[in-house]
Chains A and B, each alone.
Chain A
Amino acid sequence: MTTMPAAVPLGHVLALAAVLFGLGLAGVLARRNLIFMLVSVEIMLNAAGLAFVAAGAAHDAADGQVMFLFVLATAAAEVSVGLALVMRLRRQTGTLDADAADRLGG
Chain B
Amino acid sequence: MTALFYAAAAVAVVATLLAITRSSAVHALLYVIVSLLAVAIVFFTLGAPFVAALEVIVYAGAIMVLFVFVVMLLDLGPGDGGGERRLLRPGTWIGPAVLSGALAVEVLWLLSRGPAGPAPPGTVAPRVVAMALYGPYVLGVEIASMLLLAGLVGAYHLGREDRP
Interface residues of A (CB under 8 A from B): 3-8, 12-13, 16, 19-20, 23-24, 26-27, 30-31, 33, 35-36, 38-40, 42-43, 46, 50, 53-54, 56-57, 60-66, 68-70, 72-81, 83-88, 90, 96
Q: A62-B128, A79-B66, A88-B159 are in contact. Are A69 and B133 (CB under 8 A)?
A: yes
Question: In the bound complex, how far is the Cα of B76 from the Cα of A56, in angstroms?
Answer: 41
**Interface of A: prevailing SS:** helix
How many residue pairs link A and B with beta carbons under 8 A? The number is 179
Q: Closest CB-CB distance, A31 to chain B, in whole Å?
A: 7
Query: B46 near A35 (CB under 8 angstroms)?
Result: no
Query: A84 near B19 (CB under 8 angstroms)?
Result: no
What are the 8 tightest A-B residue pairs by CB atom distance, in nearest-first order?
A: A77-B151, A27-B20, A84-B158, A73-B144, A84-B155, A84-B159, A62-B132, A80-B155
Query: B122 near A38 (CB under 8 angstroms)?
Result: no
Q: A83-B67, A86-B70 are in contact. Are A35 and B25 (CB under 8 A)?
A: yes
**Chain B residue at smallest Cβ distance from A46:** B39
Question: In the bound complex, how far is the Cα of B1 from the Cα of A85, in angstroms?
Answer: 42
Q: Closest CB-CB distance, B9 to chain A, in whole Å?
A: 5
**Chain B residue at smallest Cβ distance from A75:** B63
Q: Closest CB-CB distance, A53 to chain B, in whole Å?
A: 5
Q: Closest CB-CB distance, B28 to chain A, in whole Å?
A: 6
Query: A62 near B124 (CB under 8 angstroms)?
Result: yes
Question: In the bound complex, how far is the Cα of B43 from the Cα of A69, in angstroms?
Answer: 13
Question: In the bound complex, how far is the Cα of B137 from the Cα of A89, in angstroms?
Answer: 37
Q: A7-B47, A35-B71, A88-B159 are in contact. Are A74 and B36 (CB under 8 A)?
A: no
Query: B20 near A26 (CB under 8 angstroms)?
Result: yes
Of the candidates A4, A66, A73, the one whose C-beta lies within 8 Å of that of B129 is A66
**Contact residues in A for B98 (Cβ distance below 8 Å):** none
